[in-house]
Structure 1
Amino acid sequence: MPVTFDGKLVVAISSRALFNLGDSHRVYMEEGLEAFQDYQIEHEDDVLSPGDAFPLVQKLLAINDLEEGRGRVEVILLSRNSSDTGLRVFNSIEHYGLPIIRAAFAGGASPHRYVSAFGAHLFLSTDADDVREVLNAGYAAATILSGAQLQQQDDVLRIAFDGDAVLFSDESEQIFQSGGLAAFTENEKRSARTPLSGGPFKPFLTALHQLQTSFAPERCPIRTALVTARSAPAHERVVRTLREWNIRLDESLFLGGLPKGEFLRAFGADVFFDDQQGHCESASEHVAAGHVPHGIANRKKQGG
């Protein structure tokens, strides 16, 4: 029988998000590809230190150790290295005991095209251009920002999401950007019973929710939260949309524009996904953050 990922949560991650490759990347930027290749081979037995997404990956893979989650999570390495220079990465994976067995080494090219080939629900990278390509192809993706790492003492994986332009489309954000808060609020009141369209992270949230339902609520190793700048009365449309999708979020925080960082720390987020670069930078002072360069706010920044 052929191997399939049916029923699995599949996450693809770049080598620089998983490990700290700062030294070798500097060699590449300052001295070129050949010097980089020589450096990687010379240091292939030197274990790499964990990168910004390493703790998240550890918790994801630990779900496979639980009876209800056995074999339900797959993490795949996507790298610009060649298989030759990437040996150091796989040696480090083995050193940390990470059960990552599948990889695509793109030999200097962007590996983003393999996200669809593997059917990944999420792609994490430090390369913003690769992340945009994956989002444009219709898959969830985020640029991991360097920042604070919460050291949780338990094994529960906590993932927090912004709403508009992440879980939901940016249709309401467009109204806010063009007409201001009053126009946004009036539209959300008028459309309270009309579900929002799905954003780039809806399929990932759906797969995550399906994995959660494998566990009894009191034993579930995953908690999710919506952390949004929305407040009443704009909350109703969000609640009804999630009900229409038949997706449960464990916690929902409607902050009415308050800074999100302290609330993310209180939730204990292992990662927070937001479309606003400024929100991500602020959140990264407290937790790991992933910027989702999607929607009208990011099109404006890119001059589109």
Structure 2
Amino acid sequence: MPIEFNDTLVIAISSTALFDLAESHRIYMESGVDSYAQYQIDHEDEMLKPGAAFGLVKKLLSLNETKKDTPKVEVILLSRNSADTGLRVFNSIENHQLKITRAAFTSGNSPYLYAEAFGAHLFLSTNPKDVLQAINAGIAAATIVSPTQSNNDSDIIKFAFDGDAVLFSDEAEQIFQQDGLEEFTRSEKQSAQKPLEGGPFKNFLQALHKLQKEYTQDNCPIRTALVTARSAPAHERVIRTLRYWDIRIDEALFLGGMDKTKFLKAFGADVFFDDQEGHIDRAKSHIPSGHVPSGVINE
């Protein structure tokens, strides 16, 4: 029977998010695809350095070490390389001892369709166009614009999410952008009992929650945090929405417009997802971060 990933968290990742391919990209931009291809072939036995999402991927794959017969996480490589030039990437995967065995090489085409075919809960890339296509196809996706090293040295994997236009739809954000804070607050207080619609990362959070339930709360290796600019009284609708979804968030930070960066550092996030590039720009030098091109802010 064909292999299925029904009870597995599936992460799709581009080669440029997994490894540092800056020099290869420079050659491609300056000299074209033929020179790039030859460079990759000439250096295919030279191990690539970790990229923006390497630390996160390594920690996620470590969850499989306890139950190797039934992996909890599957990481799939999606690459614009050809199979020929992608050999260097696979050699580096082997040299770094990452248990990644499945891949799609598309020879320059966008690989986002394969994220859906593999059943990916999350697609991480450094190519904003690929990420936008994935978001439009209903896949949780983000452009990684972060340091190559994880800020969290513990064994616990920590995910931080913005709320509106990431976990939730941007219905409330639209009111804020159009009518201002006062009307946003009035509307959210009035709608406190009405759950928000899900955003692009709802299904990913749901998959994380399902994985978390395989552990006791005291021994869970995954921790989640909502880090939002909302404050009271707009907090109530968020709490009731998560309760309605029956999804656990371990920590919720209602910051009322304060800069999120120092709170993300205090949480020790392995990755932070937000729809606003300004928040990403402030956080990315300290916290591995992913821009989610969703909602009215990104129109």
Query: TM-score range, shorter-chain basis?
Result: over 0.9
Structure 1 pair 68–89 and aligned structure 2 pair: CA distance change class (3 A): closer
Supply the AA of the counterpart residue of 2:234. Answer: A
Please give the alpha-carbon distance, in whole angstroms, between the structure 2 residues aligned to 1:36 and 1:148: 23
Asked if 1:16 is matched to 2:10, the reply is no
User: 1:153 offset after TM fit, Å?
Assistant: 3.0
- Structure 1 residue ranges without an equivalent (≥5): 300-304
Does the CA contact (< 8 Å) of 1:81 and 1:106 recur in 2? yes
Supply the AA of the counterpart residue of 2:17. Answer: A
Supply the AA of the counterpart residue of 2:20. Answer: N
Q: Which residue of 2 aligns with 1:302?
A: none
Does the CA contact (< 8 Å) of 2:152 and 2:269 recur in 1? no
Supply the AA of the counterpart residue of 1:85. Answer: T
Supply the AA of the counterpart residue of 1:196. Answer: L
Counterpart mapping for 1:129-140 below 5 A: 129-140=129-140
Q: Number of aligned residue pairs: give it.
A: 299
Q: Which residue of 2 aligns with 1:236?
A: 236
Counterpart mapping for 1:227-266 below 5 A: 227-266=227-266
Q: Which residue of 2 aligns with 1:128?
A: 128
Q: Which residue of 2 aligns with 1:166?
A: 166
Please state whether the residue corresponding to 1:174 is helix, strand or coil: helix
Please state whether the residue corresponding to 2:247 is helix, strand or coil: coil
Please give the alpha-carbon distance, in whole angstroms, between the structure 2 residues aligned to 1:210 and 1:24: 38
Alpha-carbon displacement from aligned partner over 1:277-301 (angstroms, at most 9, x marks no partner): 00011111220100001000000xx
Please give the alpha-carbon distance, in whole angstroms, between the structure 2 residues aligned to 1:290 and 1:85: 26
User: 1:259 offset after TM fit, Å?
Assistant: 0.2
Counterpart mapping for 1:1-304 below 5 A: 1-67=1-67, 70-147=70-147, 149-299=149-299
Does the CA contact (< 8 Å) of 2:151 and 2:287 recur in 1? no
Matched-pair identity in %: 63
Please give the alpha-carbon distance, in whole angstroms, between the structure 1 residues aligned to 2:294 and 2:149: 24
Does the CA contact (< 8 Å) of 1:280 and 1:289 recur in 2? yes
Supply the AA of the counterpart residue of 1:91. Answer: N
State which drifts further: 139-148 or 233-242.
139-148
Please give the alpha-carbon distance, in whole angstroms, between the structure 2 residues aligned to 1:79 and 1:141: 15
Scaled by the length of structure 1, the TM-score of the pair is 0.96
Alpha-carbon displacement from aligned partner over 1:202-241 (angstroms, at most 9, x marks no partner): 0000000000000011111000000000000000000000
Does the CA contact (< 8 Å) of 1:149 and 1:286 recur in 2? no
Structure 1 pair 69–269 and aligned structure 2 pair: CA distance change class (3 A): farther
Supply the AA of the counterpart residue of 2:33. Answer: L
Please state whether the residue corresponding to 1:147 is helix, strand or coil: coil
Displacement over 4 Å in runs of 4+:
67-70
Structure 1 pair 159–167 and aligned structure 2 pair: CA distance change class (3 A): same
Supply the AA of the counterpart residue of 1:193. Answer: Q
User: 1:150 offset after TM fit, Å?
Assistant: 3.9
Cα-Cα RMSD = 1.2
Please give the alpha-carbon distance, in whole angstroms, between the structure 1 residues aligned to 2:149 and 2:182: 37
Supply the AA of the counterpart residue of 1:22. Answer: A
Please state whether the residue corresponding to 2:112 is helix, strand or coil: coil
Please state whether the residue corresponding to 1:197 is helix, strand or coil: coil
Please state whether the residue corresponding to 1:76 is helix, strand or coil: strand
Supply the AA of the counterpart residue of 1:254. Answer: F
Please give the alpha-carbon distance, in whole angstroms, between the structure 2 residues aligned to 1:79 and 1:153: 28
Structure 1 pair 192–69 and aligned structure 2 pair: CA distance change class (3 A): farther
Please give the alpha-carbon distance, in whole angstroms, between the structure 2 residues aligned to 1:183 and 1:57: 41
Please give the alpha-carbon distance, in whole angstroms, between the structure 2 residues aligned to 1:192 and 1:111: 40
Please give the alpha-carbon distance, in whole angstroms, between the structure 2 residues aligned to 1:62 and 1:237: 36
Please give the alpha-carbon distance, in whole angstroms, between the structure 2 residues aligned to 1:176 and 1:79: 38
Structure 1 pair 152–70 and aligned structure 2 pair: CA distance change class (3 A): farther
Does the CA contact (< 8 Å) of 1:145 and 1:284 recur in 2? yes
Please give the alpha-carbon distance, in whole angstroms, between the structure 2 residues aligned to 1:71 and 1:6: 11
Does the CA contact (< 8 Å) of 1:227 and 1:253 recur in 2? yes
User: 1:69 offset after TM fit, Å?
Assistant: 9.9
Does the CA contact (< 8 Å) of 2:151 and 2:288 recur in 1? no
Structure 1 pair 69–198 and aligned structure 2 pair: CA distance change class (3 A): farther
User: 1:67 offset after TM fit, Å?
Assistant: 4.2
- Structure 2 residue ranges without an equivalent (≥5): none
Does the CA contact (< 8 Å) of 1:209 and 1:248 recur in 2? yes
